[in-house]
Amino acid sequence: MTHPPDAPRMAVLISGRGSNMVSLLRAAAQPGFPGRFVLALSNRPEAAGLAHAQEAGLAAEAVDHRVYADRAAFDAALDARLRAHAIDLVVLAGFMRVLTPGFVEAWSGRMLNIHPSLLPLFRGTHTHAQALAAGVRLHGCTVHFVVPELDAGPIVAQAAVPVRPDDDAETLAARVLAEEHRLYPAALALVASGRARLEDGRVVFAPEAGCAAGALHSLPV
């Protein structure tokens, strides 16, 4: 693996199957990717994704949320593991725990999430069912910087898919997931390279990244 010498050290946080994590690790293994994954963390020791991370040569660790008295104690343990690995950038990929404001503020501008909807529409869970119930004709996914408010935060990139008349939540989810796997590595590359960064609560793009960001917004479906 060859990465720029100053490539940020990245951690991916998961809770389950980890398909986004796999696509991120694959992209980041390409020569020249502007960040280096060194750690996979799960709040569930049984998460299938941890084995994939280990195979890929990362440190794979579980911080089981069930053994901590409250959210603050769990987040403190998470923070300690991230700092032990000298992490620069935290990448939430299907990490299904609400994080405390203190933790989020500590990693402000250095923590990304992917959400399976075109935010600010359809926060929370069951986003595909929500989209079908609302009758939208376009649905998709969003990569955003994490802020204390749940499923909110300055948007780095989005990808849209059409909603088909015969879609159910499952078929729609599959179409969105394919876009997630394309969008997240591209958005992460923008942030890891510093071409997209958080400034005064907004995402600022480097001039040459404007085109890249625009291309992400209009990915073919």
Kindly list the catalytic residues.
Answer: 115
In the complex, the smallest distance separating the C-beta of residue 151 from ligand GAR, rounded to whole angstroms, is 6
* Residue 8 engages ligand GAR in binding (rule: CB under 6 A): no
- Integer Cα distance of 175 and 161 in angstroms: 7
Tell me which residue has its CB nearest to ligand GAR: 94
Contacting ligand GAR within 88-107 (CB under 6 A):
93-94
- Integer Cα distance of 82 and 10 in angstroms: 9
- Integer Cα distance of 115 and 125 in angstroms: 9
Contacting ligand GAR within 34-73 (CB under 6 A):
none
Q: Tell me which amino acid residue 170 is.
A: E
7, 34 in Cβ contact below 8 A? yes
State phi, psi for 49 to the nearest 5 degrees.
-60, -25
* Residue 19 engages ligand GAR in binding (rule: CB under 6 A): yes
* Residue 187 engages ligand GAR in binding (rule: CB under 6 A): no
* Residue 180 engages ligand GAR in binding (rule: CB under 6 A): yes
- Integer Cα distance of 50 and 16 in angstroms: 9
* Residue 112 engages ligand GAR in binding (rule: CB under 6 A): no
Enumerate binding residues for ligand GAR (CB under 6 A).
14, 16-20, 93-94, 114-116, 151, 177, 180
